[in-house]
Amino acid sequence: MSADPTPLLADQGDTAMATDSKAADKDAVLREKKRSPNRLIVDESHGDGDNSVIMLSLAKMEELNLFRGDTVLIKGKKRKETVCVAIMDEQTEDNKIRMNKVVRRNLRVKLGDVVSLHNTGEVPYGKAIHVLPYDDSIQGISGNLFETYLKPYFQEAYRPVK
């Protein structure tokens, strides 16, 4: 008598299922490798936060070869970018970046959006910058704008400017 073909088909199905699961595992590994380590999800900073500081986990800082106080370039939506100082935060998850509302507004991103982070290397110290207000933004404000707003914000504070 001839052998029943059903067990043979079942064995082939098991082999196909095993091959499919191996392929799925391989795809998952490739997706993990393809995922860029410098793409992070935007999260809210603790309290008000500083307008020139972003917070990362220690593991993410080590993965990106960043040290506390390094200047980083952050790229957001619509080709918007800004520079900030990276600091370590124990409460931040590895795939997230904490920043305050001002930094998010500069990048045109919201909570949960993805930004990319790049080390800028050595940034030279600036000798002078020109901060020019829009005419409509200073209407109704009197007094010396430099002494009232700019000097307290920039003096004795390490603020990267792009």
Structure confidence by residue, pLDDT tens digits, 84-130: 999 999 999 999 999 999 999 999 999 999 999 999 888 888 888 88
Closest CA to 32 of 94, 79, 75, 87: 94
Predicted confidence band of residue 60 (pLDDT cuts 50, 70, 90): very high
Residue 75: predicted pLDDT: 94
| Cβ-contact 119, 61 below 8 angstroms | no
- Phi/psi of residue 87, each to 5°? -130, 160
Length of the chain: 162
Domain ranges for the chain, please list them. 39-119
**Residue 149 banded pLDDT, cuts 50, 70, 90:** confident
Give the pair of three-digit tokens for residue 66: 């960043």
- State the pLDDT confidence band at 9, using cuts at 50, 70 and 90: very low
Residue 5 belongs to what H/E stretch? helix 5-34
Token pair 């593991």 in the structure block, residue: 59
Specify the CATH architecture of the domain 39-119: Beta Barrel (2.40)
